[in-house]
Amino acid sequence: MRYAEVLLPLPLANTFTYRIPEAMAHVLVLYCRVVVPFGKKHFYTGIITEIHDRCPDYPVEVKDIHELLDAKPVITACQLSFWRWISTYYLCTLGEVCKAALPNGFIVESTSQKTGFKPKTETCIRLADHIRTEADLQNTLARIRRSKLQEKLFHDFMELGGIQKNAVAKKKLLEYSGINASVLNGLRKRGILVAEEIAVSRIESQETVVQEQVLLSETQKQAFHEIKKSFETNDITLLHGELSDGKTKIYICLIQDMMRKGLQTLFLIPEIALTIQITERLKKIFGAKLLVYNSGMSDNMRVEIWNQILQSDEPFVVLGVRSSIFLPFSRLGLIIVDDEQELSYKQQDPAPRYHARNAAMILAHQHKAKTLLAAATPSLESWLWAKKGKYGYVSMDNRFEGSIQPKIEIVNVSELRRKKLMKDSLFSPLLKERIGAALSDGEQIIIFQNRRGFSPLVTCRQCGMIPHCINCDVSLAYHKQTHRLLCHYCGYSIPFPLRCGSCSSEELKLQGFGTEKIEEEVAALFPAAKVARLDFDTARTESTCRRILKEFAEGKTQILIGTQMISKGLNLANVSVVGIMNVDAIMNMPDFRAYERAFQLIFQVGGSAVRYDRQGWVVIQTMQAENELLRMIRQFDYPGMAQTQLKERHQFRYPPYIRLIMLILRGKNEQLLDGIAELYAQRLRAKLGDGVSGPVVPPVTRVQTLFVRKIMLKIDLSRTVSDTRKILEEVHSTMQQAPGFKQLIMHYDVDPQ
């Protein structure tokens, strides 16, 4: 009797043993998919991870594998090893990693045994089987000679290659001939042509474009050669380049270098929206060798790309977001992580809560590949390891092709309001002047405010009551377009109230501002300008985001207002003014990374004002004009910011000098939650000592009806990952016995961002 270990895409720690039916014994292979019964009624798709003859000592009867889905493996041994590392390091189950890694089209999670993936089919036309010889063909032509339309359509079919027993797409044939489908149906009824459904690829078919060699500037050439030299002794290299320095050209040359060696490249970018600009550029160079992979694609398309990569050991480049690290590469030579500091590389929910940059370095190591981290404002972790020699380091100091650094102007909003120079306006006189001048010169403007909606706060003037979400401990934000109050955590909304729910007063006051309010004032100040807004309310789909950015890039809109969505590396030559509306909210976040994030975000948004012909402007409005961070931003002093922040991190024991793990507990009963959290922290302290802080109540104490408590673990870098996991599993095992513990939900967030 033979058995198989099956990995299921469920939040379960172990694989499950199933009996291999005799009919499958000789066709079942490692890493293929099978459908197995699980529980009383459900069937799930699983992956075979081991085949053996050990009879399991289960208290219940071992079930048979129900169905074999694949004749060949759908994952590789290297992938499974990578999944196990993700599971171990990020303190989650292997099943959760499997669920995140596999395209949904591969997974069945119901009582049905149907596979999720459906091949795309196309109606094609071929010659009937009885027409085999030249004589048969001549007889056929004689039969249709009286019908000129049928004769023409048949000749067109022959010209498209159908006479060589090739199938011709029905749509292509009708478009080529210009004849309607009824004529084709006539040929089918006469038994001359046959229609059949043929599986076709969803991946866009195109020939590789042969383009002249990419021309590098002297600075780019130097950086390219320094990176290659660094790779001779370093597996990981940090490319520290300025904004608009033409790093993409260097990436292209590195990818071409890999292809000449027969190796594959993974090119990671932080946001789907960024594919808008870069995909077309890479297509012109790599053509069919470029594959794009992201969560915005259909399940079926993701399966097809997965299979193409799995079945090919040819050189190619994959352009993708964080989930692309799970693809089945066979000859991976290089991983490029562009804008490596971006928060988007960290998966938040659900598990696995991995960081794609860190995981990519492990993936590259497993493939004996190289990793290039690139950023204008690197994460402090990457900066420190590069300076200490753990990573290679290449700097690009000169701006690309003579581009001019924008001038940063700090506006003291509190002073202007004291002098009544900003009465009833969100815009300082300077910012209004810069916007007006840019519009007069036919140039474009970006206005950044990292808060959507019209107003984040509604208060009663009489009693001070603030409408709150019924599910979360947060105030409701006013959205004028829908005239509703909305929770940005769970989506709960109510119509805008006519009077206070507490004292019935009709005097309700709107406080603060979001992108919607900015849009309204811009329309009033500059009525002739075409304005667009890019935030979660206006761009819920990839296609809408693409349209808004495309129209701005083409100059159809003059002013673009947005949240962080507009900070992701937009390269728009006609932007001359960037306004940053409320930098204080970014700098004053209750997070040890607040200053680092603020510097990176402002630097990134401000980079849109880099010009090639004349000076661009970045106007920052703030209540803290004397803040030291703003001085560093004005002087583009990244090293100064990095050294200051690293000194503080070292003093107070924060990353990158320690490993940070956040244990998060949630529950409906706040009293029970507090008791369990306190007990959990005590037991962790007994094992980890002073490295345990909390439990603490987070700024938002309740989210989606569940109260939240957090325990922070500071782990010395000298302690191994396996040792840490062992301690946490031991403590968790003892907590399972605590009364009420199973009523709570808990998870770990490793390296929280």
Question: At 241, is the secondary structure helix, strand, or coil?
Answer: strand
Predicted local confidence at residue 743, as pLDDT: 94
Which pLDDT score is estimated for 147?
Answer: 87
**Residue 115 maps to a domain:** no
The pLDDT, as a whole number, for residue 164 is 65
pLDDT averaged over every residue in the chain = 88
Task: Find the mean pLDDT for residues 219-231.
Answer: 93
Query: pLDDT at residue 398 above 80?
Result: no
Instruction: Report how far Cα 531 is from the mean position of its chain's Cα atoms.
Output: 27
Residue 570 pLDDT > 90, yes or no? no
Q: Are residues 444 and 537 in the same domain?
A: yes
Bigger pLDDT: 750 or 548? 750
The domain boundary residue, chosen from 386, 401, 416: 401
Average pLDDT (514-521) is 93
pLDDT at 206 over 60: no
Please indicate, yes or no, whether residues 312 and 364 belong to a single structural domain of this protein.
yes
Same domain, 277 and 396: yes
The C-alpha torsion from 693 through 696 and 698 to 699, rounded to 10°, is: -110
Domain membership flag for residue 206: no
pLDDT score of 525 more than 90: yes
On whether both 667 and 567 belong to a single domain, the answer is no
Same domain, 529 and 608: yes
532 shares its domain with 411: yes
What is the domain range of residue 245? 218-401
Position 5 confidence tier, pLDDT thresholds 50, 70, 90: very high
Query: What pLDDT shows up at residue 111?
Result: 44
Give the confidence band of 29 by pLDDT, cuts at 50, 70, 90: very high
7 and 125 in a common domain: no
Find the mean pLDDT for residues 356-385. 96
User: 3-class DSSP state for residue 718?
Assistant: coil
At 37, give phi and psi (nearest 5°).
-75, 140
Could you report the per-residue pLDDT of 174-188, keeping only the tens digit for each?
A: 888 888 888 898 888
Position 568 pLDDT exceeds 70: no
Least confident among 118-122, 188-192, 295-299:
118-122
Residue 57, pLDDT score: 78
Rounded to 5 degrees, what are φ and ψ at 480?
-70, -35
Same domain, 396 and 481: no
Higher pLDDT, 163 or 105: 105
**Is a pLDDT exceeding 60 seen at residue 63?**
yes
pLDDT of residue 390: 96
Q: Judge whether 709 and 665 are in contact, CB under 8 Å.
A: yes
Residue 472: the pLDDT is 94
pLDDT in tens, 280-322: 788 888 888 899 998 778 888 888 899 999 988 889 999 999 9
Q: What is the bridge-based pairing of β-strands 168-169 and 120-127?
A: antiparallel
Tell me: the pLDDT tens digits for 621-679?
Answer: 999 998 999 999 988 899 999 999 999 999 999 999 999 999 999 999 999 999 999 99
Among 57-61, 177-181, 194-198, 680-684, name the one with the lowest average pLDDT: 57-61
**The total number of structural domains that make up the chain:** 6
Whole-structure pTM value? 0.85
Percent with pLDDT over 90 in the chain: 58
Tell me the mean pLDDT in the region 527-545.
Answer: 85
Residues 527 and 445 in one domain: yes
224 is a domain residue: yes
Q: Quick check: 552 and 560 in contact, CB under 8 A?
A: yes
Q: Which residues contact 666 (CB under 8 A, 6 or more apart)?
A: 673, 703, 706, 707, 708, 709, 744, 745, 746
Q: How confident is the model at residue 202 (pLDDT cuts 50, 70, 90)?
A: low
Give me the mean pLDDT over the 705-718 stretch.
95
Please tell me the least confidently modeled range out of 354-358, 471-475, 614-618.
614-618
Instruction: Let me know if residue 504 belongs to a domain.
Output: yes
**Host H or E run for residue 746:** strand 745-750
670 compared with 196, residue with greater pLDDT:
670
Res 443: pLDDT? 92
Q: Give the mean model confidence (pLDDT) for residues 258-268.
A: 95
CB 443 within 8 A of CB 435: no
Domain co-membership, 599 together with 745: no
H/E element, 647: helix 638-652
Name the pLDDT band for 113 (thresholds 50, 70, 90). Answer: very low
Last residue of one domain, picked from the residues 473, 490, 512: 512
- Residue 273's identity, in one-letter code, is A
